[in-house]
Chains A and B, each alone.
Chain A
Amino acid sequence: MSEINLPQLDRRIKWALLLTSLATLAVLLASALAENVFAPWRIIRGRYAGILAEKAGDARGAALARQFENRIVQNVLPELGTVDRCITCHPGVDDPRMTDQPQPYRAHSGDYLIHHPPEKFGCTVCHRGQGRALTFEEAKAVGHHWDYPLLPPEYTQSSCGLCHTGPEVEHRGGEVYALGERLFGEKGCRACHRLSGRGGSLGPALDGVGMKVRGQLPMAGVSGEHTLPQWLAEHFDSPQRVVPGSLMKPPQLSREENTALTVYMLSLQNRDLPRSYLSPEKHREYYLAARPAPASGEALFSQFCSPCHDTGEIGIYDKFYAAFAPAVRGVAFAQIASASYVEAVIREGRPGTAMPAWGAAAGGLSDAEIAELRRYLLATPVPQGSRLAEPILARAHDPNYRSTGDAGRGAAIFTRHCTGCHGPGGAGLLAPSLVTSTFQRHAADGFLYATIAEGRANTAMPGFLSRGGFFERDIEDVIAYLRKLGGQDRAASPVARAQGQP
C-alpha cells in the first residue's frame, strides 16, 4: 500500500458532499412542488376557479368566484363517523350551473342534494369509498385493504334503504331500490332466509349482509371484480357457481331485477345511524318489524311458503331439493286436517326435513299470524265431487278416536304398500316422512285414518280403502305400526285396546 493521497481524498469527500446535498435538495424541491403546486386537488381546484370566473355573470356569481379558495375542503360528520373530502375535487356538486361540466366539476345528478345537503350527509354514507382520500384512485378504496369500496353507480340506490322504505322513494329517485325491496317479498326469499327475525332457516340470515367485506365471501367462483356487489350479482345468476354446493335455487332474474335485488341486499346494513337521519316511514317500518301488523294468510303464504309449496294445491316433488312438498292447500287435506295440527306443524316445522319451524322463537311468525295462515290453508274451496263421505270426516275430526290395530300386521302391510314412497320405516323418500316428532305428536289417529282410507286428491297418495283393497282393520293396523315407529307401543296397552273396540 502506498501512502494515502490526502489532497485527492479531500477532493473526493467534497465532491461526495456536494452531490449528496444536491440530491437531497432536489428531493426536497420535488416534494415541495408535488405538495404545494402539483397536487392533483390543487390543479383541479385551480381549473374550477377558472370555470367559476367564467360563469360569474352576476353579483352573486362574482361573489362565489371571489370566495373560492384553493384549499382542502371537507364535511366532518361525527354523527355518521365520516370525514368526506370528496367536495375538494368535486366543488360543483351543489352548483346548479355546473350540469354542463365534465367530471369532476359536474353538479350532482337529480335533486338528491336538495334533500340531502352534503354538510349534513357527506358523500360516503351513500357512495361508500374512502372519504379522506384526495385522489380519485384512493377514493375508490379498491383492493385488499379496503372494506367498503366506492359503489358502482348502478348500485348507489342501495343507500336509500338506510333511511327510507321502498314505497317512499319509488317515484323520488329510488326506483331501483323500491323494485329490489318488492322483489325480495315477491320471490319469497324469506322462505329460506331470515331478515329482522322473520324467515326460514334453510339459507343464512340476511341481516347486515350489505356490510360484508370481501374477506368474508368465497371469491373463487366470481369472474368479475372481487367486490360484494359483484359477488351478489353473480350469485343471483348462478348460486352454485359462486358457492359450490349452495342449496339456493337460481332465482331466475332479468338483468334489471338482478341489479335491483343486489341493490336491496346492499341496503341491508344493520348500521346504527342516528335516529334523526331516518325518515318517519323508516321508523314505522322498524316499529312494524318489531310488532308485525296482521297480514292476510294469503300474503303470508306467498312470502314464506310458496317457494317450496307453490300454490299448495298439488303435492310437489322438488327435483332441485330431492324432497317432497305436500299439498298443504289440497282439497282432501283441507277437509281432514284439524286446526291444531296445522298450526302445530307450522309452529314447529318438521325436524329432519326441509320444513323449518316458523314459531316466534324460530321463523318469527306470531301465533296470530300462524292462525291466519292456518285459516287460509284450511279455507281451500272444496268442489262438490271431492267432498269426502260424512263418516270419514266425522272420524277425521273425532278427537277420541284411537286405532286399536296390531302393529305387527301393520308392519307387513306398510312394507308392501307404503315403503315405495314413504321409505323404509316411514323415514320419507318421495313422500313425506311419517316419523318426525311433530307429525307423531300432532297428527291424530282420525287424521291418519282418513288419509289412508281416502288418499289425498291431487297428490300421489291414493285412497286405500275404496280402491286399494284395504279393509278397515288393515288401516288400523298400519296406524298402530306408525305409532310404534313414533315410539308408542299401543299393543302393550290392553286397556286402550279394550276401550277402543267398536
Chain B
Amino acid sequence: MPGRLEPDEMPRRDWLGLAGLWTAALAVGGSLVGMARLPKPRVSPEASSRFRAGSPLEYPPGTVKVLPDQIVRMIATEAGVAALSLVCTHLGCVVGEDADGGFLCPCHGSRFDAQGKVLGGPAPRPLRWLEVSQAADGALVVDAAREVPAGDFYPPTSGRPA
C-alpha cells in the first residue's frame, strides 16, 4: 500500500490531477466561447446593401440620373462616376431635387447643394457619397453601406476585365 514512505507517488498523482483540471477548464472555456458565438449568425437574411447601377456606357460624362428605387443620384463627370445618397442626414426622409440643382428635404427643410453640402436646416452632415465599383461583367456597383469622401469619382474601365 502506497503511503508517506513512497513520496514518488504524490507528484505523479498531482500531475494527473492538474492535467485533468486544466483540460476540463479548457473544454468548458471552449464550449463557452462556442456558445457565445451562437447568438451571432455568420450571415443573416438581410437585403444586400450592394446594387447594380447599370453599364458604365449609360453614364457618359455629364450624366445626372436618379435611381428612385435605390434612392441615389448617379453623377458622371470626366473624372468618373459617383453615387450621392438622397437620404436626408437629419431623420432619413428622401430629399427632393431643388430648382438650382441642389436638394431640399420636405420634412424639416434642410437644404443641400449639388455636392450634398448642407446649406441650411437641421441636417447635421452633408449627404453621403457612396462607394462605386465595377462587377466582373463591367456593370457599376454601388454599395450603400460604404461611404467615400465627397468628390470621389470612380473611373470605370470599359469592356470585360482581362
Chain B residues lying within 8 Å of A92, measured Cβ to Cβ, are 136
Q: Known A24-B27, A95-B137; judge A18-B157 contact (CB<8 A).
A: no
A96 touches B137 (CB 8 A): yes
B52 touches A117 (CB 8 A): yes
Residue on A nearest B41 in the bound complex, by CB: A72
B13 touches A63 (CB 8 A): no
User: Other than the known A28-B30, A60-B157, what 15 A-B pairs have Cβ atoms closer than 8 Å?
Assistant: A7-B2, A14-B13, A17-B20, A17-B23, A18-B19, A25-B30, A29-B30, A56-B161, A57-B161, A57-B162, A58-B161, A60-B161, A61-B161, A74-B45, A76-B48
CB distance from B28 to the nearest CB of A (A): 8
Chain A residues lying within 8 Å of B161, measured Cβ to Cβ, are 55-58, 60-61, 64, 97
Q: Map CB proximity to B onto A20-50 as digits: 1 under 8 Å, 0 otherwise.
A: 1110110011011000000000000000000
A63 to B136, CA, bound (A): 10
A21 touches B137 (CB 8 A): no
Binding site for A on B (CB under 8 A): 2, 9, 13, 16-17, 19-21, 23-24, 26-27, 30-31, 34, 42-43, 45-48, 50-52, 133-137, 139, 157, 160-162
A17 touches B21 (CB 8 A): yes
Residue on A nearest B45 in the bound complex, by CB: A83
B24 touches A119 (CB 8 A): no
CB distance from A140 to the nearest CB of B (A): 20
Q: Known A18-B20, A61-B161; judge A97-B136 contact (CB<8 A).
A: yes
| A-B contacts, CB under 8 A, total | 98
A14 touches B47 (CB 8 A): no
A17 to B51, CA, bound (A): 54
A32 to B31, CA, bound (A): 11
Chain B residues lying within 8 Å of A114, measured Cβ to Cβ, are 137
A58 touches B133 (CB 8 A): no
A-B contact list, 15 entries, CB within 8 Å: A7-B2, A7-B13, A14-B17, A15-B16, A20-B24, A21-B27, A24-B31, A25-B26, A25-B30, A56-B161, A58-B161, A63-B134, A67-B133, A72-B42, A117-B139
Any B CB within 8 A of the CB of A94: yes
CB distance from B107 to the nearest CB of A (A): 25
CB distance from A60 to the nearest CB of B (A): 4
> Which of A25, A78, A113 has the largest number of chain B CB atoms within 10 A?
A25
Among the listed B17, B31, B136, which residue makes an inter-chain contact with A28, where contact means beta carbons less than 8 Å apart? B31
B135 touches A94 (CB 8 A): yes
A113 to B135, CA, bound (A): 13
Any B CB within 8 A of the CB of A322: no
A229 to B9, CA, bound (A): 73
Residue on A nearest B51 in the bound complex, by CB: A119
Give me the 3 closest cross-chain CB pairs, A-B, nearest first: A95-B136, A57-B162, A21-B23
A24 to B28, CA, bound (A): 9
A74 touches B48 (CB 8 A): yes
B50 touches A74 (CB 8 A): no
B50 touches A119 (CB 8 A): yes
Any B CB within 8 A of the CB of A291: no
> Which of A14, A58, A74 has the largest number of chain B CB atoms within 10 A?
A14
Any B CB within 8 A of the CB of A10: yes
Chain A residues lying within 8 Å of B42, measured Cβ to Cβ, are 71-72
Any B CB within 8 A of the CB of A115: no
Any B CB within 8 A of the CB of A75: yes
CB distance from A365 to the nearest CB of B (A): 42
Q: Known A95-B136, A96-B136; judge A74-B43 contact (CB<8 A).
A: yes
Residue on B nearest A83 in the bound complex, by CB: B45
B13 touches A11 (CB 8 A): yes
Any B CB within 8 A of the CB of A220: no
CB distance from B81 to the nearest CB of A (A): 14
A56 to B30, CA, bound (A): 40
A284 to B153, CA, bound (A): 43
Residue on A nearest B42 in the bound complex, by CB: A72
A21 touches B20 (CB 8 A): yes
Any B CB within 8 A of the CB of A498: no
Any B CB within 8 A of the CB of A59: yes
Residue on A nearest B21 in the bound complex, by CB: A17
A73 to B53, CA, bound (A): 19
CB distance from B99 to the nearest CB of A (A): 31
B34 touches A28 (CB 8 A): yes
A24 to B42, CA, bound (A): 23
Q: Map CB proximity to B onto A100-138 as digits: 1 under 8 Å, 0 otherwise.
A: 000000000000011001010000000000001000000
Residue on B nearest A98 in the bound complex, by CB: B136
A17 to B23, CA, bound (A): 8
A61 to B2, CA, bound (A): 74
Residue on B nearest A113 in the bound complex, by CB: B137
Chain B residues lying within 8 Å of A14, measured Cβ to Cβ, are 13, 16-17, 20
A67 to B146, CA, bound (A): 13
Residue on B nearest A114 in the bound complex, by CB: B137
Q: Known A76-B46, A83-B45, A119-B52; judge A18-B133 contact (CB<8 A).
A: no
A18 touches B16 (CB 8 A): yes
> Which of A17, A59, A64, A132 has the largest number of chain B CB atoms within 10 A?
A17
A64 to B135, CA, bound (A): 7
A21 touches B162 (CB 8 A): no
CB distance from A46 to the nearest CB of B (A): 16
Chain B residues lying within 8 Å of A11, measured Cβ to Cβ, are 13, 16
